[in-house]
């Protein structure tokens, strides 16, 4: 294989790797930069296929770089530091790909692609993307091997990279276990609610959009008893501020929470009754809220140090969830929610908008006059939802003005947030403190091992104050569509599977048995990956090392560290010592090989199937006498050494002469290159 061909192969492999990396960063990279990437790839491919002969001039590339930098600088304030640097790196790589002429350009592009693969793990760390990025890394190494060793065949380079990857695997696994785990060094930008899950405000219809997503929200592994479907209400956020259309987390409640956190006064409810013990692995949301069944409290010192309990029985982490977050809880569903400060709860949860929804106000006044008892009034409101022809749907009509009036008395179609919002407003009009709670309801069990909760399980319900029992949960959706709570969203709404937004989601085809089994198998694999790889944090690492060496003392840790280093040294010795004992080429062969490398500078290469004499004749036809004659002499000495009987004196003379001819060839080539 000729060197120019090998280098072209190296360049096109690098080009395809860069394209794949850029497309995998589709979300953080701006569209116009991706268009520039595609242009660079098309240009490099045209050069490889010899459809075009010349790359753009340096002046053209400099002008393009200047214009691109100005546009990127304009958008950088909106992107933030992290996304701005990633976009800058992709932009620089695309311009460098257009300029790829020298070895320096090639090495710079290889290095930048390695950084981009690392950036990919910031946004995608599932097992599928991890395998994908591993494959791209191996292709980068293959490109590098083809570029450095152009005379070696493609298959040989591929075999060498495969062997090196196999050798690196055990060392990588060992370092993954023992290297200190540190937190992220940057703050990720906040993603949109439909991508990350719930938000701190809810307008009826928002959760309906979220429920068309089959993305994973979190996983739960129960230790012992598993709650029945009617108890699987996963609390996340409490909304207490209402403007007539949208529910929000109360600003006053946030101020109270900040005061409690400042003085480190965490709410600790008194727990009673049975409990469920479980472990949650939450997907990244870039927010602080967590998920639990009421009343959830951290189990074990690890989770207690990570979680804060608020007076609304809401759990939050001390830091945003920028990666998979693993924590252990105990939930006590029989514990009454009456242990917070009632005066504060009452003041916040009786707030009403000044205007709007006049029909609902009149209807509530009439109903309240008939049923002054709070519990009887609530039963009548639920009966209204049951008796009227309400419809539970993911595609409710728009309700822009007096949304509660329109929903209750005109359209009577909606999703869970419509029902919860309307009932909370009704109870507040009746003087009953009420708040809206958002989270998830249900979950998909996998052979009694773990439960997966998806975005389409998003749900909203209400809590109303009971004078004796405290906050009580009411779910008007369960009255209209009881199958939603008992069997899940897809059983309650026939078109739910078809409404899942991604056409490639296997959840759309769960009715097909073999596709559903394949989907569940993929979920099982992803669960193992998430739990044992992505969930392997500094606490898990500490527990593992403690199980190996016992109590963690400085002396034991030092010995453990030395043992790990020793094991790595032994592995390296096992891999590389055998190659050191291989027979090295003799003096004559060594100088012949060095002479071949000198000719490589003139882009003359010996094919793998070509003999020394044929190669010497090929050199003679291509180079002037001052260049080919020294190499011809080197070749004749090499052939005589290997194929003729030589006395000791002749062997000594051959060694001296071949070195002289090599030096003459080297000087002649250096003069040629300077000219």
Q: How far is the CA of 511 from the CAs of 239, 443, 508, in angstroms?
A: 36, 17, 8
**582 pLDDT tier (thresholds 50, 70, 90):** low
**537 pLDDT tier (thresholds 50, 70, 90):** confident
| Residues in the chain, total | 675
**Would you state the structure tokens that stand for residue 443, as one six-digit string?**
């979950």
Query: Which pLDDT belongs to residue 446?
Result: 82
Region 304-321: mean pLDDT is 89
DSSP annotation of 197 reads: S
Q: What is the rounded distance in angstroms from the CA atom of residue 158 to the CA atom of residue 197?
A: 43
Q: Catalytic residue at 459?
A: yes
Q: In this model, does residue 426 exceed pLDDT 90?
A: yes
Q: In this model, does residue 420 exceed pLDDT 90?
A: yes
**Would you state the structure tokens that stand for residue 144, as one six-digit string?**
């590098």
- Where does 99-126 have alpha helices with state H? 103-123
Q: How high does pLDDT run on average in the chain?
A: 86
Q: How far is the CA of 469 from the CAs of 330, 334, 336, 363, 478, in angstroms?
A: 21, 11, 6, 27, 21
Going by their DSSP bridges, the two strands 315-317 and 307-309 should be labelled as antiparallel
Q: What is the pLDDT of residues 41-96, one digit of tens each?
A: 999 888 888 887 777 888 888 899 999 989 998 888 888 888 889 999 999 999 99
Reference 452, options 671, 234, 626; nearest CA is 234
CB 96 within 8 A of CB 105: yes
DSSP H/E element including 472:
strand 470-474
CB 459 within 8 A of CB 230: no
Catalytic residue, from 418, 475, 628, 641: name it.
475
C-alpha 198, offset from chain centre:
19
**Would you state the structure tokens that stand for residue 568, as one six-digit string?**
């790595």
Q: What is the pLDDT of residues 148-189, one digit of tens each?
A: 877 677 888 899 899 999 999 999 988 888 887 776 555 555
DSSP annotation of 457 reads: G
Reference 433, options 404, 408, 470; nearest CA is 470
- Specify the range with the lowest mean pLDDT, choosing from 14-28, 199-213, 269-283, 378-392: 199-213
Provide, rounded to the nearest whole percent, the portion of the chain with pLDDT above 70.
91
Query: Which pLDDT belongs to residue 504?
Result: 56
Region 339-347: mean pLDDT is 90
Query: Which pLDDT belongs to residue 2?
Result: 40
Q: What is the pLDDT of residues 387-412, one digit of tens each?
A: 999 998 877 888 878 899 999 999 89
Q: What is the pLDDT of residues 592-651, one digit of tens each?
A: 888 888 888 888 888 877 888 888 888 888 888 888 898 899 999 988 888 887 888 888
In 249-369, where do the E strands start and end?
A: 276-282, 296-298, 307-309, 315-317, 325-331
> pTM of this prediction?
0.73
Catalytic residue, from 416, 418, 457, 628: name it.
416
Q: In this model, does residue 16 exceed pLDDT 50?
A: yes
CB 385 within 8 A of CB 475: no
CB 439 within 8 A of CB 457: no
**Would you state the structure tokens that stand for residue 12, as one six-digit string?**
């096109």
C-alpha 492, offset from chain centre:
32
DSSP H/E element including 438:
strand 434-441
Q: Catalytic residue at 113?
A: no
* Non-local CB neighbours of 174 within 8 Å, separated by 6+ positions: 564, 567, 568
Q: What is the rounded distance in angstroms from the CA atom of residue 265 to the CA atom of residue 262?
A: 8
Q: Catalytic residue at 416?
A: yes
Kindly list the domain boundaries of the chain, sorted by start residue: 3-148, 193-515, 587-674
Q: What is the rounded distance in angstroms from the CA atom of residue 616 to the CA atom of residue 636?
A: 9
Region 8-25: mean pLDDT is 91
Region 454-463: mean pLDDT is 92
Region 524-547: mean pLDDT is 82
Region 187-205: mean pLDDT is 62
Catalytic residue, from 11, 311, 418, 459: name it.
459
Q: What is the rounded distance in angstroms from the CA atom of residue 183 to the CA atom of residue 189?
A: 16
Reference 98, options 36, 147, 21; nearest CA is 36
Region 534-550: mean pLDDT is 82
Region 207-216: mean pLDDT is 73
Q: How many CA atoms lie within 13 A of 524 on its CB side?
A: 11
How many beta carbons lie within 10 A of that of residue 74, not counting itself? Answer: 9
Q: In this model, does residue 31 exceed pLDDT 70?
A: yes
Q: What is the rounded distance in angstroms from the CA atom of residue 348 to the CA atom of residue 344?
A: 6
Reference 98, options 62, 67, 73; nearest CA is 62
**Would you state the structure tokens that stand for residue 255, as one six-digit string?**
């101020």
Q: Is the dihedral of CA 373, 379, 384, 390 positive or negative?
A: positive
């Amino acid at each position: 294989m000729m060197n120019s061909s090998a280098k072209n192969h190296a360049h096109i492999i690098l080009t395809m790797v860069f394209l794949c990396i850029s497309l995998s960063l589709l979300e953080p990279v701006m569209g116009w930069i991706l268009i520039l990437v595609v242009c660079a790839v098309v240009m490099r491919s045209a050069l490889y296929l010899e459809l075009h002969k010349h790359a753009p001039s340096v002046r053209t590339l400099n002008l393009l770089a200047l214009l691109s930098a100005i546009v990127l600088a304009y958008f950088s304030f909106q992107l933030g530091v992290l996304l701005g640097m990633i976009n800058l790196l992709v932009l620089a790589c695309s311009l460098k790909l257009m300029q790829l002429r020298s070895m320096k350009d090639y090495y710079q592009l290889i290095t930048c692609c390695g950084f981009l693969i690392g950036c990919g793990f910031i946004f995608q760390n599932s097992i599928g993307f991890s395998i994908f990025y591993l494959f791209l890394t191996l292709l980068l190494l293959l490109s590098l091997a083809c570029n450095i060793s152009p005379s070696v065949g493609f298959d040989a380079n591929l075999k060498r990279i495969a062997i090196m990857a196999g050798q690196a695997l055990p060392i990588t696994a060992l370092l993954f276990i023992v290297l200190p785990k540190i937190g992220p060094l940057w703050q990720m930008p906040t993603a949109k609610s439909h991508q990350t899950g719930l938000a701190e405000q809810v307008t009826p219809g928002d959760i309906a959009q979220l429920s068309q997503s089959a993305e994973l929200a979190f996983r739960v592994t129960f230790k012992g008893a598993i709650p029945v479907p009617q108890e699987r209400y996963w609390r996340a956020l409490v909304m207490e501020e209402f403007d007539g259309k949208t529910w929000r987390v109360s600003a006053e409640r946030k101020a109270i929470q900040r005061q409690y956190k400042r003085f480190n006064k965490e709410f600790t409810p008194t727990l009673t009754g049975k409990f469920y013990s479980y472990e949650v692995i939450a997907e990244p949301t870039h927010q602080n809220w967590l998920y639990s069944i009421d009343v959830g409290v951290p189990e074990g010192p690890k989770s207690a140090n990570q979680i804060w309990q608020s007076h609304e029985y809401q759990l939050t982490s001390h830091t945003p969830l920028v990666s998979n977050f693993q924590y252990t809880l105990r939930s006590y569903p029989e514990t009454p929610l009456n242990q917070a400060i009632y005066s504060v709860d009452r003041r916040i949860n009786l707030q009403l908008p000044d205007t709007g929804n006049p029909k609902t106000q009149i209807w509530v006044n009439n109903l309240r006059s008939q049923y002054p008892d709070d519990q009887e009034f609530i039963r009548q409101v639920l009966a209204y939802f049951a008796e009227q022809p309400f419809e539970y749907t993911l595609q409710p009509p728009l309700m822009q003005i007096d949304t509660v009036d329109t929903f209750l008395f005109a359209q009577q179609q909606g999703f869970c947030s419509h029902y919860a919002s309307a009932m909370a407003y009704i109870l507040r009009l009746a003087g009953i403190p009420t708040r809206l709670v958002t989270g998830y309801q249900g979950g998909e069990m996998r052979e009694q091992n773990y439960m997966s909760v998806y975005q389409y399980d998003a749900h909203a319900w209400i809590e109303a104050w009971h004078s004796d029992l405290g906050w009580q949960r009411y779910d008007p959706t369960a009255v209209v569509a009881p199958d939603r709570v008992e069997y899940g969203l897809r059983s309650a709404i026939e078109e739910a599977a078809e409404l899942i937004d991604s056409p490639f989601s296997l959840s759309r085809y769960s009715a097909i048995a073999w596709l559903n089994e394949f989907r569940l198998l993929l979920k099982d694999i992803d669960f193992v990956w998430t739990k044992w790889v992505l969930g392997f944090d500094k606490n898990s690492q500490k527990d593992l090392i403690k199980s190996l060496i016992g109590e963690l003392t400085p002396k034991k840790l030092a010995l453990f560290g030395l043992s790990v280093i020793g094991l790595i040294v032994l592995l390296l010795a096992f891999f590389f010592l055998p190659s050191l004992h291989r027979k090295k080429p003799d003096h004559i062969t060594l100088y012949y090989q060095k002479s071949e490398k000198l000719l490589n500078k003139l882009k003359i290469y010996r094919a793998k199937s070509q003999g020394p004499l044929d190669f010497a004749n090929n050199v003679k036809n291509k180079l002037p006498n001052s260049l080919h004659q020294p190499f011809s002499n080197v070749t004749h000495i090499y052939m005589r050494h290997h194929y003729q009987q030589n006395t000791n004196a002749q062997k000594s003379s051959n060694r001296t002469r071949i070195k002289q001819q090599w030096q003459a060839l080297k000087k002649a080539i250096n003069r040629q290159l300077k000219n």
